[in-house]
Amino acid sequence: MADEQMDFVRSMSIATSGLRAQAGRMRVISENIANADSTSQTAGGDPYRRKVPTFTSELDRTLDARVVALGRIKPDTSSFRVKHEPGNPAADASGNVKYPNVNPLIEMTDMRDAQRSYEANLNIISATRRMIQRTLDILKA
């Protein structure tokens, strides 16, 4: 019986780590979307740079299982969008304004993927809770 209990705990912990990682991913994506049209505070300066979340796999020694975690948040090194807007306070000497390298369509696609992964982990937790409840019901009978 102890092995089954550990399996339940391991399943819940792995799914919980996935929830945390996807929640962190959604925060980064939200920040990217929020800054998609921002410009530099100084004339000719660089605007917000898109951030890209990464994931790491870690060994949880108490569970003897691998769990996922949000890794480093890396800057996207792709080029900024440039528009010729001489009247803009963020324009450089040539009248060009740099805009973030954020594509809202890509961000929304990534957000949808993160939400689906989050929901999948929630479903694992729900299924595990139902199995625990059924096990308790059987033991009571």
Write the burial class of residue 2 (CB in 10 Å: 0-12 exposed, 13-18 middle, 19+ buried).
exposed
Residue 62 pLDDT level (bands cut at 50, 70, 90): confident
Identity of the amino acid at 113: D
Task: State the chain's mean pLDDT as an integer.
Answer: 93
**Reported pTM:** 0.86
pLDDT at 141: 83
Query: What is the average pLDDT across 20-39?
Result: 97
Query: What is the average pLDDT across 41-51?
Result: 94
Residue 134 has pLDDT above 70, yes or no: yes
pLDDT at 2: 59
